[in-house]
Structure 1
Amino acid sequence: MSPIEKSPTSADRVPKPGRPPSAKLRLGPAPGPSPEPAIKKETRETSRHKEALKNAAGSKSSGSSLGDDDVCDWGFVVRKKRRVDEVYPSGGEGSSCRELARVILKLGEVYERIEGAKQRMMVELEKHRMEVAKEIELQRMNMLMDMQMELERSKLAKRRTAASATLVAKQIGERNSGSIPQTYQRVLDIVKC
């Protein structure tokens, strides 16, 4: 570096875009208002402003011999807003963000628990439905088998009665010289149906 050139000072540096030159890099949440009620307290600076306001009002009304510059300075003080420091018990916006994140995480955990329980319930209901469907199918098959057995029994009984009636009629007909009486003939016709 030549002696004419000077090293850049903090005033000569160009601030990075998106960040004011006086802003320092902060890690963690930015301070700010919290949803909790603020406890307001007056500082020494605000009490000085009150005194300055009282003095300015008194000097204007008394017609003191202050110059125009003094009046402008006092006017600036009069126009200045009252400054109140707000103290948050939980530590400002950072803690409210942490609290919000904590609540969101808890909500997510509750949602996951509910969804898991819902899935387990759906699986149990599906198992139960399958068991009921299986039982109903078994009952239906048993009923069909029972009905088929009853039909076979009734057919078998019908055949037996027809065979026995025919046998009896033949025996009677052989006794009566080969003719079957009409009553037995009716019985045979009924049994064959």
Structure 2
Amino acid sequence: MNDTKVRPVDETVWGDLETVFGTRGDAAGCWCQWFKLPRAQSDALTREQQRDRLHEQVTTGRPGVLAWVDGEPAGWAAVEPFSAYPNLARSPITRRRDDDPADPWAVTCFVVRMEFRRRGLARALLRGAVEHALSNDATVIEGYPVDPEVRPSLSAAERYHGTVSLFRDGGFELIRRPSATRAIMRRTV
């Protein structure tokens, strides 16, 4: 891949993050609020309200990393402590078990602009997400990817969690499979 840079988001790069999310498609309709709000509350928000919520999160914290390819905003990965995502605790896929670490950092989603797909950008984003978590004293990082080897027909939209091979290549190990196509993967430092 060409010159790729990945770093945590902050207010100074908000315009680039808006470019990555765009105005159409799944990312523009979610703004990484799906795991942060109960479904009814999330469904009641307009796209602008969801965007404004992410903007507030970027202003007050560092909820993810942004990637640029040759200076052009290209992709995003959301990564924060598990506790920042209340819906993860409610989901049968990601609900904590007694032997799970209480509050690992969680890489919940990836957004890559169409023209930058199939170039390895998700790998760079995952590396950046791990570095961001480690710089914030994370000792455990998790991902909740899909497995296209089990179901090759998974659409690009269904792959926003990342894939099992992406996380495996990033040093994560498979912890369990809560469903045929989903996995809990973990990296302990």
TM range (shorter): under 0.3
Scaled by the length of structure 1, what TM-score is found? 0.13
The answer to which structure has the higher helix fraction is 1
